[in-house]
Amino acid sequence: MNTKIWDLRQEHQTTEELDALKEMKRIFENDGLIALPTETVYGLGADARNEQAIHKVYEAKGRPSDNPLIVHIHTLDQLEAFTSGITEEIKKLMKAFWPGPISFILPLKKGYLCHSVSGGLDSIAVRMPSHPIGRRILQFVDLPIAAPSANLSGRPSPTTFDHVYRDLNGRVDGIVNGDQSEVGLESTVLDCTQFPFRIARPGSVTQSMIEDIIPNCITTQGTLDIDKPIAPGMKYKHYAPDTPVKIIEVLNQPPSSDKDWSKTAFILPRSKQNLVPDEATFIALCKDEQDIKTANHKLYQILHQLDQDEHIEQAYILGFPINDQTTAIMNRMMKAADQVIVKGEKL
C-alpha cells in the first residue's frame, strides 16, 4: 500500500491544508486509515461507524480485536449519538479537562458506532484531543474517529512522526506529521460507568487533579496495584522495546567499576549523570527527580531510540517513588521493563 504523507506543521488555513483535509475526509469515508498527531501519542484513526475500517485498524496494528478502541471527537454535540448516562459529575470533568489528555469510559448507546470499535462491550471510551493539527482534522472530517496508538501491537507508543513511519509506512493510507507529542504518555482512562469512578489507565491527568474537580469520586480499589491488568488492553504485553530494559529502584552510588558497561545505556535524570560509568551511554530522562513532565514527554522517544541504536544491548532506567504524579510513568516503565526491578547497589 502506498502511504501518503502530509506535513501540516506550517500549514494553517492555506489551500494546501484545505486540500489535505479534503483528501483525508475522502479517505476516512472510504474505509481508510490515517495516523494523526495528538498531544498524548499519535493515533491510528478510522471512522468509528465503519466496521470494515475498524477491522483494518486491528489488522494494521496486528492487534487482537477484543481490545476496545478510544473514539475521538471535536465537540460535545457528537456524544449524543452514541453515549448515554452522562451525569453532572462527568460533565464537570469534561469541562475541566477537555480538550485534553483524558478519556472517559461511558455507557454505549448502541446502533451508531460499529460493533467492533467497542470490542462488543456495553461501554465506549471517548476523548477530545487538544493537539491543534489533530483537532483541525477531527473538526473538518466531523466523524467519530476511533484511534488506538499508531504503533504495531506490543511496540512502544509513537510520539513522533518517525516512530509512526517506521511501524506503519505501507500499512496505512496516510500519516500526518505534527511534531513531537507534548504529553508523551497515552491518555488517562477514567471508567465512568460506575460511581465511584475508576482509573483504568493512569495518565498525565492524575487522580488528585480529578478529585480537585469532584472530591472523593475515585475508587482506588485495585487501581494502585500497577502490576494488575485493569483495562482490557493491559493484559497484553505493551510498550516494550526490543532492547531489554530494567528499572533501578534507587541509585545513590556509581555501579560497580569491574563490569563492562560499554553496551549499556543509563536513562536517568540529568542530576544523576555523575553516577554513570564512563564507558556507558547516558540518556537524559529529565532534569531532576521532580521533573516528571519532561520524563513523561521523553520516555517513549527514549525507548524507540534504544532500538535504533545498535550499539546498546541493555538499558537501565531509574524509577520514581510512586505518588500521584508518578503513577502513570511508573506504569509504563514497568511494562517496558517487563516488571523487572533491580537495586542500585547490586549493579
Interface residue list for ligand TXA (CB under 6 A): 38, 40-41, 43, 67-70, 103, 105, 118, 121, 123-125, 127, 147-149, 186-187, 189, 200-201, 231-234
In the complex with Mg ion, the residue whose CB is nearer, 160 or 264, is: 160
Closest approach of ligand TXA to the CB of residue 34, in Å: 12
Closest approach of ligand TXA to the CB of residue 10, in Å: 23
8 Å CB contact between 318 and 267: yes
Return the C-alpha cell found at 17: 491544508
In the complex with ligand TXA, the residue whose CB is nearer, 198 or 246, is: 198
In the complex with ligand TXA, the residue whose CB is nearer, 105 or 141, is: 105
SS (H, E, C) the chain: CCCEEEECCCCCCCHHHHHHHHHHHHHHHCCCCEEECCCCCCEEEEECCCHHHHHHHHHHHCCCCCCCCEEECCCHHHHHHCECCCCHHHHHHHHHHCCCCEEEEEEECCCCCCHHHHCCCCEEEEECCCCHHHHHHHHHHCCCEECCECCCCCCCCCCCHHHHHHHHCCCCCEEEECCCCCCCCCCEEEECCCCCEEEEECCCCCHHHHHHHCCCCECCCCCCCCCCCCCHHHHCCCCCCCCCEEEECCCCCCCCCCCCCCCEEEEECHHHHHHCCCCCEEEECCCCCCCHHHHHHHHHHHHHHHHHCCCCCEEEEECCCCCCCCHHHHHHHHHHCCCCEECHHHC
* Contacts to Mg ion by CB under 5 A: 149
Q: Which does 187 bind (CB under 5 to 8 A by kind): ligand TXA, Mg ion, none?
A: ligand TXA
Q: Which does 41 bind (CB under 5 to 8 A by kind): Mg ion, ligand TXA, none?
A: ligand TXA
Closest approach of Mg ion to the CB of residue 71, in Å: 15
Q: How many other CB atoms are there within 10 angstroms of residue 321's CB atom?
A: 9
Q: Which does 244 bind (CB under 5 to 8 A by kind): ligand TXA, Mg ion, none?
A: none
Q: Which does 68 bind (CB under 5 to 8 A by kind): ligand TXA, Mg ion, none?
A: ligand TXA
In the complex with ligand TXA, the residue whose CB is nearer, 190 or 312, is: 190
In the complex with ligand TXA, the residue whose CB is nearer, 114 or 231, is: 231
Closest approach of ligand TXA to the CB of residue 21, in Å: 19
In the complex with ligand TXA, the residue whose CB is nearer, 234 or 317, is: 234
Closest approach of ligand TXA to the CB of residue 35, in Å: 9
Closest approach of ligand TXA to the CB of residue 126, in Å: 9
Q: How many other CB atoms are there within 10 angstroms of residue 308's CB atom?
A: 12
Which residue, among 200, 243, 238, has the nearest Cα to 219 in the 3D structure? 200
Q: Which does 318 bind (CB under 5 to 8 A by kind): ligand TXA, Mg ion, none?
A: none
Closest approach of ligand TXA to the CB of residue 91, in Å: 19
Closest approach of ligand TXA to the CB of residue 158, in Å: 9
In the complex with Mg ion, the residue whose CB is nearer, 40 or 78, is: 40
Q: Which does 294 bind (CB under 5 to 8 A by kind): Mg ion, ligand TXA, none?
A: none
Return the C-alpha cell found at 117: 470499535
Which residue, among 161, 145, 153, has the nearest Cα to 73 in the 3D structure? 145
Q: Which does 226 bind (CB under 5 to 8 A by kind): ligand TXA, Mg ion, none?
A: none
Q: Which does 155 bind (CB under 5 to 8 A by kind): Mg ion, ligand TXA, none?
A: none
In the complex with ligand TXA, the residue whose CB is nearer, 214 or 231, is: 231
